[in-house]
Amino acid sequence: MSDLIQLLTADGVRVEHPDVAFSPDPSLLDTYGDEPGVLRALLRDMTLVRRFDVEATALQRHGELGLWPSSLGQEAAQIGAGRALAPGDYVFPTYRDHGIAWCRRIDPVDLLGVFRGTDHVGWDPEEKRYAPVTIVIGAHTLHAVGYALGALHDGAVGTGDASRDTAVLACFGDGATSQGDVNEAMVFAASYHVPVVFFLQNNHWAISEPVTRQSRIPLVQRAAGFGFPGYRVDGNDVLATYAVVQRALEHARTGQGPVLVEAVTYRMGAHTTTDDPTRYRTDDDLEVWRRRDPIDRLARYLRTTGGADDAWFAALEAEADELGADVRARCHALPDPSPLVSFDATYAEITPTLAAQRAEVAALLDGTEVAR
């Protein structure tokens, strides 16, 4: 299946697809009451993640972060995929997947710590089922396949026990598809039939290289070459992304092997705060995608169908402002790590040479001499 799957148009109109429907998990319905409640929750997620992203970008501009990779415009792809995950599923993220991290209940300030240089990973990966962020493009897809192979060998696939069956979500962008690691991961996943969903966010740019230069065919068609199913979904449509990733994860959990999901979206901001996108893309192109904004379309749908009123939107705006202020204050308060952490947290058993170096650093910190 390679046609673009869409359930909510850019104008905020629900449409039908012959094979895919939006069907929220019972746990979401229990939590939020009914389908309109689930839709409001999805819109709240996207709105708060965007507010966090805007605040993080501002913090970097003020010198509080070393770097920031914005997720502006990709909220539907990330919230749709993140909300489709079951509690036991495991995520291997990129550095831009702030929305999926949000869905795994990771404190946004812990994400900031990575880019402030105060921590390598501020959460427990096993508890959150969310691996540390990988900066090297595409390298973590091999880690994801290895983890999925482990789940397969542990008998945590296709048992019919929802509390045991596990799928792995391997996230990457269109630029990563040009990397050998990603292609090797797909060969390995197909060969061993592992429970992994390759979640590709095609945001159209690998820094300054357009996707049209990276691939002569739609990226989803690569799945057929590896011998597993592929879905191409409107990544600015949170309903469609949720439905497609939900189906793909179920496919993997039940022992039917890997799946590729290409979510077609757009990076509205720069690649990172070191990038200037005005040097390689046009305002006209950007304007086309502004009209496909993922938050605007769901907000429009909820307004026109009576799913949310002005009071609800005002409360959400206030909550977003409160989140921004909280993130800003707690980022400023992040403590500088001790230089000794590099010695204490890297090795299980430190070597004599490193022990001597550690003592030297400790002495410098204490302002005392080191015996030689």
Q: Catalytic positions, please?
A: 267, 271, 280
Please give the single-letter amino acid code of residue 272: T
Nearest to 199 by CA among 73, 71, 94: 94
Contacts of 16 (CB under 8 A, 6+ apart): 7
Q: Name the CA radius of gyration of the chain, rounded.
A: 22
Helix or strand or coil: residue 367? coil
Helix or strand or coil: residue 166? coil
Which DSSP symbol is given to 335?
P
- The sign of the dihedral angle between the CA atoms of 67, 245, 17, 305 is negative
C-alpha to C-alpha distances, 367 to 246, 321, 338, 356, 359, nearest whole angstrom: 57, 44, 15, 16, 12
Cβ atoms of residues 173 and 200 within 8 Å: yes
Q: In residues, how long is the chain?
A: 372
- The sign of the dihedral angle between the CA atoms of 304, 306, 310, 313 is negative
Distance CA 213, CA 264 (A): 16
Cβ atoms of residues 5 and 20 within 8 Å: yes
Distance CA 183, CA 246 (A): 23
Torsion of CA 147, 148, 149, 150, to 10 degrees: 50
Residue ranges in the chain assigned as alpha helix (H)? 26-32, 35-61, 75-84, 98-103, 108-116, 125-128, 140-153, 180-192, 211-214, 222-226, 238-253, 283-290, 294-305, 310-332, 341-344, 352-366
